[in-house]
Structure 1
Amino acid sequence: MRNELIDRFERDGYVVLEDFYSSEEVAEMLTAGRNLCFEAPKEERKVFSTTSPESSQNRDKYFIESGDKIRYFFESGAVGKNNEILVPEAFALNKVGHALASLHPIFRKYTFDNRIREICWQLGFQRPAVAQSMYIYKNPGVGSEVVSHQDGTFLFTEPASTVGFWIALEDATLENGCLKFIRSSHKTDIHRRYIRNADKSSKEILIYDRPAPVYQLSSFTAVPVKKGTLIAIHSQVVHRSENNKSKASRQVYTFHMIETRHTKYSDENWLQTSEPFPILYER
């Protein structure tokens, strides 16, 4: 399995591992994610945009300071002017992040699972750490598009080391927004970065250092998967997901590992924490 996993990951920039989690394990994570819908304090009803991130978080410390906390981000149109919920609570959240792996017992359990350690070991990690973790809802009819991007845009290390772990807790289909990849695009560099603005006089706390690249939609390969599937994603592979046009949600739990041995996590990255990222293991 070692050579097969590495070969596919190095060839395509991602690898799909079906039936990675049992139906009971998936149900436990799904229940925990649904429970989060009813735990957001009223004052924490912040809107998050996946198509124009700067519009929702650029001037918002709630987002900037979420790296070591559990914080709640709502769909556009789900929250009114007086912070009232305009849709059923179960369908209001876009995501919850970014420290579920550290602070929530269920998600900590599955992030620090020996199976995850084994994958990281096979991929050559020496001292992997969990940089961020999120629960993403992609609710029916309102689940937002996620524009084409590379994970390394947001979590940049030198040398490149970030790997995303994307766990399907429900079937991900063409209709509800499965992942789509430009296969082998990880063999290029990081195309742009999302960084903290060094100009302290600016109202823009976070900026992109370059204009958005243009990717041909015909270059993307759709990757529909069944619940219980794990997808490991290279930091430089270009991927996206379309808005949910179906009546079925597409909930996932996802987290990102970075190498901490002989690797520099950029001080310019949006995500900074007061404490070191939790370590998965040390060789």
Structure 2
Amino acid sequence: MEQRRLEYLTREQINQFDRDGYLCIRGFLSPEETIGLLDRAKQLLEEFNINDHPKTKFTTGDDNHVGDDYFLTSGDKIRFFLEEDAVDAHGKLTRDKSKAVNKIGHGLHELDPAFRKVTLQNERLKSLVRDLHFHKDPVALQSMVITKQTKIGGEVRQHNDSTFLYTDPPSALGFWFALENCTPENGALSFLPGSHKTTPIVKRFVRLPEGGTGFEDLISPAEVPPKPEGKYVLTECDLVIIHGSVLHKSERNQSLFTRFAYTFHMIDSPPYAVYDEKNWLQPSKELPFSRILTQEA
């Protein structure tokens, strides 16, 4: 069968993504684009009003994941989530508000012109998506700036993205752009190569009927396979494409330097994959998930 003509990626890169479950690409954004996104993120941090903020903290632990209304209704808004160590027992910030935020999300790609241009109006991205051929009709459903603040930027434990952005069948794909240098000291991403082929999605992150969020088992605990063995590989590149099933993590920021990154995710749309009402993030009538390959430039 004749192979499709590639527009951006090489056949070797596509094979590497299939083998490892992630792919590093250098120079995808120009220095001007990267600086523009970083400056815009810092401007958003300076401008947001802490006085009417509910002090929602972002945490990734299975037993204590954020699930209040501020979080659950953030899919079509630009909201700010604080580091666990940035708020004291009395609800007071322990540092300046611009240095207390863990992430900004989850509708940046829709609502902010700078991030929308990179995500939905980017011909290079569309070419890459067509080359990868991971989806039939992809839509963008969430975006974030993750700030990884100095000294308090929290650890993100081993996980895969399809647990949190579940479709049937699983179809999550992440795009992670470094806006600053990523190092072992400030929390660069690391991956377990090939784990997307050996790690099934065994649970999903859902809205609970009684309110809040939690995890729903997809298979019985007795059927959960043992954790895959192997050595995690650190990545220090401009763009990482992340398979929804590959295991990855990042360490706490122990350095004096922030690690700003912009990330967004796409999934396949019906009939190729089903995204249901159990998921924590829901589209609204005013702002449905945007198709990647049919957006006007």
**Which range is displaced more, 117-126 or 148-157?**
117-126
Query: Which residue number corresponds to residue 247 of structure 1?
Result: 256
Aligned letter for 2:155?
E
Aligned letter for 1:79?
V
TM-score, structure 1 length as denominator?
A: 0.89
Aligned letter for 1:145?
E
Q: How does 1:95-110 map to 2 (within 5 A)?
A: 95-110=103-118
Match of 1:16 among 8, 18, 24: 24
Match of 1:277 among 246, 270, 289: 289
In the aligned structure 2, how far is the partner of 1:85 from the partner of 1:105? 30
Q: State the shift of 1:250 in Å.
A: 0.6
Deviations 1:2-22 (A, max 9, x none): 422221110000000011112
Q: State the shift of 1:43 in Å.
A: 1.6
* Residues paired across the two proteins, number: 275
Q: Secondary structure at the match of 2:127?
A: helix
Query: Which residue number corresponds to residue 55 of structure 1?
Result: 64
Q: How does 1:49-88 map to 2 (within 5 A)?
A: 49-52=58-61, 55=64, 57-58=66-67, 60-80=68-88, 84-88=92-96
Q: How does 1:1-283 map to 2 (within 5 A)?
A: 1-41=9-49, 42-52=51-61, 55=64, 57-58=66-67, 60-80=68-88, 84-112=92-120, 113-124=122-133, 125-188=135-198, 189-197=200-208, 200=209, 202=210, 205-210=212-217, 215=227, 219-225=231-237, 229-261=238-270, 262-275=272-285, 276-282=288-294
Structure 2: 5+ residue runs without aligned partners? Answer: 1-8
Aligned letter for 1:48?
K
Structure 1: 5+ residue runs without aligned partners? Answer: none
Change (3 A) 1:167 1:277: same
Q: State the shift of 1:123 in Å.
A: 1.7
Q: Secondary structure at the match of 1:90?
A: helix
Deviations 1:211-252 (A, max 9, x none): 799757863221123xxx110000000100000011111100
TM-score, structure 2 length as denominator?
A: 0.85
In the aligned structure 1, how far is the partner of 2:101 from the partner of 2:92? 13
Change (3 A) 1:175 1:213: farther
Q: State the shift of 1:54 in Å.
A: 5.2
Change (3 A) 1:131 1:270: same
Q: State the shift of 1:51 in Å.
A: 3.6
Cα contact 1:145–1:242 (8 A) shared by 2: yes
Change (3 A) 1:214 1:49: farther
Cα contact 1:45–1:83 (8 A) shared by 2: no
Q: Secondary structure at the match of 2:203?
A: coil
Q: Secondary structure at the match of 1:86?
A: coil
RMSD: 2.2
Cα contact 2:203–2:215 (8 A) shared by 1: yes
In the aligned structure 2, how far is the partner of 1:223 from the partner of 1:13? 13
**Which range is displaced more, 63-72 or 259-268?**
259-268
In the aligned structure 1, how far is the partner of 2:123 from the partner of 2:75? 24
Deviations 1:110-149 (A, max 9, x none): 1121111111111213321111000000011110001111
In the aligned structure 2, how far is the partner of 1:278 from the partner of 1:47? 27
Cα contact 1:13–1:183 (8 A) shared by 2: yes
In the aligned structure 2, how far is the partner of 1:115 from the partner of 1:45? 38
